[in-house]
Structure 1
């Protein structure tokens, strides 16, 4: 079999695949979905475990995928997760396999996931204060998240990265607190600018906490210097904290976009290829898969899907429109 590159018209090549395993989630974070939740994807449209493994395998064997991250929704609510990880690991023994999760229930399965072949986890955590956590997530589950993080560390699922979103008037005063805690625990903290991917479509750029504000708040308590290593296609801009070795990252997708170096492609839980997080178009692999298409035919469809990738996400363009799907249905 001939390996093809998932290249676009601008010379970028996708080697990092984000796979959403479900659009369901057991939290209701205010910047993601409404309190009552959303109308979930019909079960019959969601890829089966075997279909997920086959599509990822095609990406690995035929299209040069070298890194896979499982996302959601919340991927831990997918019952077949250990088997999916095991199947993908068999398809790519040298793959970097990671999981983005809210860590609810991770304390029970961290060891199982590590044994299945998972390398590391990214955990979403926006506050260490129970009342603030509950205000954002609309659930009293902070202790469960902290237990999940501890279990991931015990299972050697590291380096463990913690992702935090700061919201104006809610937790925007808690950045230094999160950083002190992360350094003490040995976790790598990443602050993420709030992106226009909420189901309610209430995002306003004028209301978001931008990277410059995040860094200014941190620099009131810490000395930050740019990390020496090149950033490359990594979304986080890294800074040494008080001379290192600890670092903190800022993912400024809105105000400091890194589209020119993007190496990512996304597969939704219902088998659609998205060549950009903010794309308004998708390419259907599920229908071809279920109609009996060969691996090579599916790979061809995937290559065509990537050719249409735009130069950038266009958030600053006056004509920008949010994707119809929210983040929970796209995958991070």
Structure 2
């Protein structure tokens, strides 16, 4: 496993940035954080507490974590950092100004990455003087539990930077997926977008409620997706003839007008109210924090089960248990 950076910076600490900080610290990396929000400290503490609980439930070490320092500027955050993870809001102007500021003051050998869920790295890198060291590293929430990170280089990103990014995120206990061609929303979000569009239509047309749609996923194909992807699942569905038989049997159905993947229902006030009201009813008296902790408990159980059979993300969890290089830290507090 590649060597971890001794120090990392996280710029922008909403839910994603705070979860990045938690994963880094749990891998014994010292983290400096910059976020002008007055609630950043509270978010960092809450997310770290949830991350520690989740890792402890997985049987992973939580007694030696990296330090956390909240600073007042980007320059202070990136000082001495080997990895800088930008996680500011998804607005191109904010991304450009933030990345330009990071690029101006970060050490020349620092790997700079954006957590963007949709912008192409070449578009983001136009604000930078050193775009060769920049990648998109798109994670999934909660970052401290879900191992996938999509690594995407721009036209000016060096091959060495791609290799270094893959090694760095692997050392953080993740499963880096190199997206070889730039495309809006990369791979996973394009798949999620297709499901999301269809779900909106099903609510819009009065076919199903938010709870019924979620039930269709969690009691059905969602369980398959946790351990085996779409193509392997459909290969099995093809019987002894495999994927070729499946395509021959079900391929013609793709021409049937079942879905509306290229259209989106108009987000009228009425549709928004319907979705929000149904979602409120579905959540009942569970707060957002309650739901997040329920999600984490479920993911811990799923990851543990997958590890026991050596499948899917369970393989990444098993790798996290491999001996780490001696920590640079004594027993420090798990929270700030």
* Fold match (TM-score > 0.5): no
Q: Which has the higher contact order (CA 8 A, sep 6+)?
A: 1
Higher strand proportion, which one? 1
With normalisation by structure 1, the TM-score equals 0.31
Q: TM (normalized to structure 2)? A: 0.31
